[in-house]
Amino acid sequence: MLEVERRAIRFSKDQWIVSLYGRGLSMGGWSDAEEKVYGALAQIASKLLVQGIDVILDYGFWYKRERTAAMNLASSVGAAAIIHFLDTPEALRRERILVRNKALDTDSVEISIQEFDKQLDWFEKPSESEGLQVEVILDKHEI
């Protein structure tokens, strides 16, 4: 795992939201919770980075604005930001959602296939043109 390999502290947005708010949030409630959790985790992450401790923000980073915010957070304390992008084919992502929904762990939320399909067009693929270091990992592993 990346956190072990890098001796880093990993913060999962979803884990924090589920822990603090539960699984039953509406999409609007989820968005509100995300903003609060992002703010709290940014404060903790910046303190760790200042101390020279690597931080992994397991946020998904679907949008360029989220990646830019992470890059700005890191650079504000003199740290580097690296995006580890797991490039996974849509069919494999869909299959994983179905499997995950059958056996949710304590820090996951169910995503219906309808919601999955709706969100497909929202993703903005990261690129180095954003001013980030992007490490692409091709994900071809089957379930």
pLDDT-derived band of residue 143, with 50, 70 and 90 as boundaries?
low
**10-32: average pLDDT:** 88
pLDDT in tens, 106-140: 777 788 899 889 888 899 999 889 988 888 888 87
pLDDT in tens, 32-70: 999 999 999 999 999 999 999 999 999 888 899 999 999
pLDDT-derived band of residue 95, with 50, 70 and 90 as boundaries?
very high
Sign of CA dihedral 98, 1, 69, 28: positive
Say how many residues make up the chain: 143
**85-114: average pLDDT:** 86
Q: Shortest CA distance to 113 belongs to which of 130, 98, 128, 129?
A: 98
Residue 83 pLDDT exceeds 70: yes
Give the per-residue pLDDT at 142: 65
| DSSP string across the chain | -HHHHHT-EEEEHHHHHHHHH-S---HHHHHHHHHHHHHHHHHHHHHHHHTT--EEEE----SHHHHHHHHHHHHHTT---EEEEEE--HHHHHHHHHHHHHT--TT-----HHHHHHHGGG-----GGGT-EEEEEE-----
Q: What pairing do the DSSP bridges indicate for beta strands 55-58 and 9-12? A: parallel
